[in-house]
Structure formats: C-alpha cells, structure tokens
C-alpha cells in the first residue's frame, strides 16, 4: 500500500507524545488578573453578571491580593469605583482616588506584584464617557460630543497620579487620538520616564463589554462610544491605530476584545514587534460561566482552549477574569 505516505497520527497517539510536540503552552506568567476596587469597609460584593468576580474595599483587598500572589500570578489590572462623579472625572486623577489608594495598599503588601493601572475616565464621569463632553439638546434628547484634545490633559493627569501612587504600568483605554503621546510626555516630564505604557491600541466598540459596565458602573448616560472606539467590521484600521501608538511611544499593544478578534491579534502580531496583550473581556467570561453553571460545557476545557487560541493567535499576555482559575488548573495538571 503506497498511501498515505505521511501519517500525521503518529505524533498524536499518546498524551506524552502530544505534550512533547505541543506548539503553544499556557503558563501562569501569561495572565493578568483584573480587580475592581470600591470604597467602604468589609466589602466583598459579587458582581451579578460576572459570577466569581467581586468588588473589594481596601480592607478586603489584602486577602484577594494574597491569593493572587500565592497562585503565582505576576500582575493585576486595577479598576476603581468612586464615591462621587462629575463632568470631568476628577476623582480619577485625585491623589487620594480609589485606584491610587488601592495601588498604595498593594505595593506596600507585595512590592514585586505588578500593578497595571487602567487609565480612563468612564468610571469617574457622571456621563459615563471616556473624556470631556460638550452636551446639547436635540429634539428633546440630551446629546453630546466627546472632546478629544481637551480630554488628553485630564488623561495625562490621571496617568501621572497613578504613577505617583506606585503603578508599575499605565494602561490607557480611552481611545482618544494622540493619547499615548500625551501620556508619554506627561510621565516623562514628571520623572516617570521608566514607566511603560500598555496601550489599548485596538479597542472595538463591542457588545462583549456589557457585564463590565455593570461591574464598573460605567455605562454611557447618552449615546454610545462608537465615535471613538473602533467599528468591529474593520481590520486595516486596527493596523493604523496600532501604528500610531507605536510611533507615539507605546511599550505594549493590546487588542480588545479577544475572542471574536483573533484575526486582528494575528495581524497586529505579524506587523509590530512589541509585546502584545489580548483582553479576554467580561462578556466572554460571563458567557462561559453561565453555560458552565447550566452544565452545558466543561468549563476548564473551554477556558483552556479559548485562552490557548488567544496565545496561538499571537498574544504574549492575556488579561482575563479566569486568571486565578487557570493558575489553579495549571498547578493540578
């Protein structure tokens, strides 16, 4: 018998052979764990749309961070829920803001744990947009335009205040034009030239963010974010966005969301020689959790396959709410 000439199954016939030739491997070093921090005392409040994810007050944060460190996770991404909001998101760049205070707590307890500070204003503005807005009434409805250049100064102030509090990495997620350059200049001018920028370079206006807006209380009060976040239909535009951030001084690039945009992750990986982050976002997390709770899927198998896909597509790091789960599963393997 002359065919088949090549027998691919030879390298699949046992678990040890499959492990030996495996091309993509997940490790605990790949993951960044998001944390939501809120004011109050004794707060550990589960987010209804994100089972297993909680709001923590500063006093309960210690136990969460201890668990993260013990699992071997090297970095956390901080989001803050303020006590008050206003039109310019001033609590976002206050020296005693919730993200700043949480950063100080974490760095005092675990100096080597990397703190990545999300740099945006949507959680802190009373209108829920990622910058300053000009509002007006049209046909009886409140409308608004997000002011790009005026927002850059506020975002730069936020980044500097986060760096001053001890953040190791600044992660601007606002998608304003020129935001990387503005933040890089402000960091450098204030003595933080050593702080890297993890830019949300390719951030789509996605329906997958729904549970996060519940978690961060950041839904826009009017309109949507389609004038500054990207159209999910566009790919070439993603390369233009990433190129702008590279030229402006970004140290790391990000694609968000990840699951429906693995083609974009691959294109950005092939085009740019910078560390690349994939954000496995809230909607992706909640869909898996909901199906697992119904007994419809094997959660561990699905999560592992999903995150492997993101890494295989080209991600060097993955921001995921499954970080702790994956760290445990990897230990048990």
- Does 3.40.50.720 match the CATH number of domain 24-332? no
Question: Where do the structural domains in the chain lie, given as residue ranges?
Answer: 24-332
What confidence score (pLDDT) does residue 31 get? 98
What confidence score (pLDDT) does residue 1 get? 61
CA–CA distance, 156 with 170 (Å, rounded to integer): 10
What confidence score (pLDDT) does residue 244 get? 97
What confidence score (pLDDT) does residue 213 get? 79
What confidence score (pLDDT) does residue 282 get? 96
Point out the catalytic residue in the list 85, 108, 256, 289: 256
Active site residue 107: no
Whether residue 312 is annotated as binding a ligand: the answer is no
Q: List the structure tokens of 178.
A: 């020129």
**β-strands 133-138, 141-146 pairing:** antiparallel
Task: Kindly report the number of other CB atoms within 10 A of residue 49's CB atom.
Answer: 18
The phi and psi torsions of 226 (rounded to 5 degrees) equal -75, -10
Question: Torsion angle of alpha carbons 274, 149, 159, 310, nearest 10°?
Answer: -30
Whether residue 143 is annotated as binding a ligand: the answer is no
The pTM of the whole model exceeds 0.85: yes
Active site residue 44: no
CA–CA distance, 38 with 59 (Å, rounded to integer): 10
Whether residue 279 is annotated as binding a ligand: the answer is no
Whether residue 282 is annotated as binding a ligand: the answer is yes
The phi and psi torsions of 88 (rounded to 5 degrees) equal -110, 5
H-type helices in the chain, by residue range?
A: 15-20, 58-70, 98-109, 148-165, 179-189, 210-216, 236-248, 262-271, 282-293, 299-313, 323-332
Point out the catalytic residue in the list 66, 85, 108, 203: 203
Map residue 106 onto helix, strand or coil: helix
The rounded Cα 311 to chain-centroid distance in angstroms is 15
* pLDDT beneath 50: ranges in the chain: none
What confidence score (pLDDT) does residue 222 get? 67
Q: List the structure tokens of 1.
A: 């018998």
The phi and psi torsions of 74 (rounded to 5 degrees) equal -95, -15
């Amino acid at each position: 018998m002359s065919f088949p000439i090549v027998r691919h199954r030879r390298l699949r016939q046992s678990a040890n052979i499959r492990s030996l030739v495996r091309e993509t491997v997940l490790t605990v070093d790949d993951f960044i764990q998001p944390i939501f921090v809120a004011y109050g005392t004794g707060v550990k409040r589960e987010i209804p749309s994100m089972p297993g994810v909680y709001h923590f007050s500063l006093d309960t944060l210690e136990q969460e961070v201890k668990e993260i460190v013990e699992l071997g996770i090297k970095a956390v991404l901080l989001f803050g829920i303020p006590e008050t909001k206003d039109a310019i998101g001033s609590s976002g760049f206050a020296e005693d803001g919730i993200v700043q205070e949480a950063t100080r707590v974490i760095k005092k307890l675990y100096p080597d744990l990397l703190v990545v500070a999300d740099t945006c204003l949507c959680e802190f503005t009373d209108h829920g947009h990622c910058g300053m807005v000009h509002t007006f009434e049209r046909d009886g409805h409140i409308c608004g335009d997000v002011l790009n250049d005026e927002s850059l100064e506020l975002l730069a102030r936020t980044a500097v205040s986060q760096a001053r509090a001890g953040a190791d990495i600044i992660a601007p997620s606002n998608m304003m034009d020129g935001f990387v350059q503005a933040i890089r200049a402000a960091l450098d001018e204030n003595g933080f030239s050593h702080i890297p920028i993890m830019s949300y370079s390719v951030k789509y206006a996605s329906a997958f963010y729904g549970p996060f807006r519940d978690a961060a209380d950041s839904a826009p009060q009017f309109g949507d974010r389609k004038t500054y976040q990207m159209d999910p239909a566009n790919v070439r535009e993603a390369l233009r966005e990433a190129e702008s951030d590279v030229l402006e001084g970004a140290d790391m690039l990000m694609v968000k969301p990840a699951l429906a945009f693995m083609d974009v992750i691959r294109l950005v990986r092939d085009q740019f020689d910078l560390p690349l982050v994939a954000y496995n976002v809230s909607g992706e997390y909640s869909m898996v959790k909901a199906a697992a709770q119904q007994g419809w899927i094997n959660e561990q198998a699905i999560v592992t396959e999903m995150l492997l896909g993101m890494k295989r597509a080209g991600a060097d790091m993955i921001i995921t709410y499954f970080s702790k789960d994956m760290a445990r599963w990897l230990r048990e393997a």
